[in-house]
Amino acid sequence: MLRLDNKVAIVTGGGSGIGKAISLLFARQGAIVCILDIDQEGATSVLQQIESEQGQANFFRCDVSKQQEVEAAVQGILEHYASIDILVNNAGISHIGTAESTTEGDFDRLLTVNVKGTYNCLNKVLPVMKNRGGVILNMASVAASLGLQDRFAYSTTKGAVVGMTLSVAKDYLPFNIRCNCISPGRVHTPFVDGYLQKHYPDNKDEMFEKLSKTQPIGRMGKPNEIAFLVLYLCSEEASFITGSDYPIDGGFLRLNT
C-alpha cells in the first residue's frame, strides 16, 4: 500500500523541513524524486541520503518565484524522465506582522514565493499532466482558515493557495488530475528553531514549550507526520479525493477553546 513505484514526483523546497521529509518518504516508497530548491547544500544532502538508501532522485536548482527557472527545471525533468506524475508545491516562506507593520517589500516577497511560486509550478506542470493524469498537493496552512496573530501576509498567501487548489481541482477533472492541499499547524522545523533563536535567544526552551502547547494535542507536529499525509493523498489509495483541504494540526482548528 501507498507505493509510488516509478512515479516521477516534483517536491519544491525539498531540501529542508517538511519538504525534506516528503522527499525521503517518497523515495522510500519507490518514487523518482525531483527536488526543486534554491538551497543547493540542503538539497544535495537530501539527494545523497536518498541515494545511500538505494532510492532514485535528482536535484534541479530552481527559484520557484521565477517562471523561467521553473520552466527550465520542468524541461530538464522531462528530458530525464519523459513524464511528471506528482507535484508537491511545498516551497514557501513566512513572515511576522500585522497589516500595519508589514512593509510593501515583505508583502510582495511573500506573494511572489508562496502564491506566484505555486502558480508558476502549476502553470508549467499541468500541460504535462494533461497527457495522462497526475496528482497535485499544495501546502496551505491553518493560517488560511482562522485568524492568527501577526500573520497577515502569510495568512493572505495561504488563503490564496486554498483557492488555487479548488480552482485546479475543478478545471482539471476531465484530465484525471487530482488536486488537494493540506493545512499543517505548527510543525517543528528549522524555521521554528531559527525564529526562536532570533526573537527569544534568552528563553528559547520556555517559548518552545509555549508554542508547542498552542496545539491541543500538546506538542508540535513532526515533519515526517506531515509527509505521511502527503504520501497518502498522492497515492492511488486516495484516488477518490480531490478538491479538499486537510488540516493536520493536533486539533488546532477544531479543539481550541
Q: Is residue 160 located within the same domain as residue 199?
A: no
pLDDT for 257 equals: 64
State whether residue 178 is helix, strand or coil: strand
| Cα 104 to Cα 96, 99, 109, 110, distances in angstroms | 13, 10, 8, 10
Query: What are the phi and psi torsion angles at 33 (to 5°)?
Result: -95, 125
Q: Is residue 195 located within the same domain as residue 240?
A: no
Transcribe 76-121 into DSSP letters: HHHHHHS---EEEE-------B-TTTS-HHHHHHHIIIIIIHHHHH
Domain membership of residue 256 (yes or no) is: no
Q: Is residue 199 located within the same domain as residue 172?
A: no
Q: How many domains does the chain have?
A: 2
Q: Is residue 34 located within the same domain as residue 158?
A: yes
pLDDT for 39 equals: 96
Q: Is residue 98 located within the same domain as residue 12?
A: yes
Element (H, E) at 246: strand 245-248
Q: Is residue 179 located within the same domain as residue 106?
A: yes
State whether residue 183 is helix, strand or coil: strand
Q: Is residue 194 located within the same domain as residue 170?
A: no
pLDDT for 198 equals: 86
Q: Is residue 78 located within the same domain as residue 98?
A: yes
Give me the catalytic one of 154, 172, 195, 200.
154
pLDDT per residue of the chain (257 residues) written in tens, 0 to 9: 999 999 999 999 999 999 999 999 999 999 999 999 999 999 999 999 999 999 999 999 999 999 999 999 999 999 999 999 999 999 999 999 999 999 999 999 999 999 999 999 999 999 999 999 999 999 999 999 999 999 999 999 999 999 999 999 999 999 999 999 999 999 999 888 888 898 898 999 999 999 999 899 999 999 999 999 999 999 999 999 999 999 999 999 999 86
Contacts of 99 (CB under 8 A, 6+ apart): 152
What CATH number is associated with residue 33? 3.40.50.720
Our answer to whether residue 154 is catalytic in this structure is yes
Q: Is residue 144 located within the same domain as residue 214?
A: no
Q: Is residue 46 located within the same domain as residue 160?
A: yes
pLDDT for 194 equals: 86
Domain membership of residue 3 (yes or no) is: no
Q: Is residue 57 located within the same domain as residue 152?
A: yes
- The whole domain housing 26 covers 8-185+222-249
Q: Is residue 239 located within the same domain as residue 212?
A: no
Domain membership of residue 35 (yes or no) is: yes
pTM, full prediction: 0.96
